[in-house]
Every structure is written in C-alpha cells, then in structure tokens.
C-alpha cells in the first residue's frame, strides 16, 4: 500500500482546549474542519492539533507555521495560553488507499 510522508506541527490537545473548540460557533468551525487551517490527529492515545507541512520545509517556514497554528488556536480559544516553544514536530506517514485496477 502506498504512503505519504509529511511533518505535522502541533500541540497536544488538552481537555481544556478541546472543550473550548467544542464551544466554537458555526462561523469558526471551518478552522477546525478544513486542514488548510487546523487538523486534529490521533496518535496512539494522544490527540494533537496543528497543521501538516511538506517534508523538507525550510526552517523559517517552520517558525511561520508554528506562529500560524498558535494564532489560530488563540482565535478559536481566546484566553487559552499556548507557547510556541511547546510545539511538537512529528514526522508521520499516512497510508494512501490504492485505487482498484480499471477493467478494460
């Protein structure tokens, strides 16, 4: 089965933050459902909130992405304290389902 490698820049999704996300209004829901903004990934028994970036991204772009994730979390959960230095860089591989062979 083919796979896709990526880096995920995110933060552990603590219960207090998850509650604030659950209380978001409909206008803010897109920031949590569209991976162009934020994505929640489950890794083992932990959930993380953050953003996917391509493998090989330049260091300054990594910093920009961390700031973007922190900014989006601050917008969705005002008053929730999160430090950019607490970001996790996770190298991941996602299995991509294969298409069935076409019949001719």
We report the CATH number of the domain holding residue 42 as 3.30.70
Q: How do residues 31-64 score in pLDDT, each as one tens digit? A: 988 889 999 999 889 999 999 988 888 888 888 9
Long-range contacts, 76-85 (Cβ 8 Å, 24+): 76/20, 76/21, 76/24, 76/28, 76/31, 76/32, 76/38, 77/17, 77/20, 77/21, 80/16, 80/17, 80/20, 82/11, 82/17
Q: How do residues 74-90 score in pLDDT, each as one tens digit? A: 999 988 989 999 999 99
Neighbour count for residue 22 (Cβ, 10 Å): 8
Residue-level pLDDT at 41 = 92
Q: And the tokens for 27?
A: 């206008």
Count of structural domains within the chain: 1
**Residue 29 placed within a domain:** yes
Mean pLDDT of the chain: 87
Three-state SS at 78:
coil
Residue-level pLDDT at 1 = 46
Q: Which of 41, 54, 84, 83 is nearest to 66 (CA)?
A: 84
**Residue 103 placed within a domain:** no
CB contact at 8 A, 62 and 6: no
Domain boundaries, position 65: 3-95
């Amino acid at each position: 089965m083919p796979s896709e490698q990526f880096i995920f820049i995110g933060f552990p999704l603590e219960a207090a933050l998850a509650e604030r996300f659950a209380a978001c209004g409909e206008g803010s829901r897109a920031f949590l459902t569209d991976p162009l903004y934020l994505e929640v990934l489950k890794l083992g028994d932990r959930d993380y909130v953050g953003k996917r970036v391509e493998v090989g991204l330049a260091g300054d772009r990594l910093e920009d992405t961390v700031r973007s994730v922190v900014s989006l979390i601050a917008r969705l959960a005002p008053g929730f304290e999160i430090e950019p230095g607490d970001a996790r860089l996770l190298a991941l591989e996602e299995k991509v389902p294969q298409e069935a062979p076409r019949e001719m």
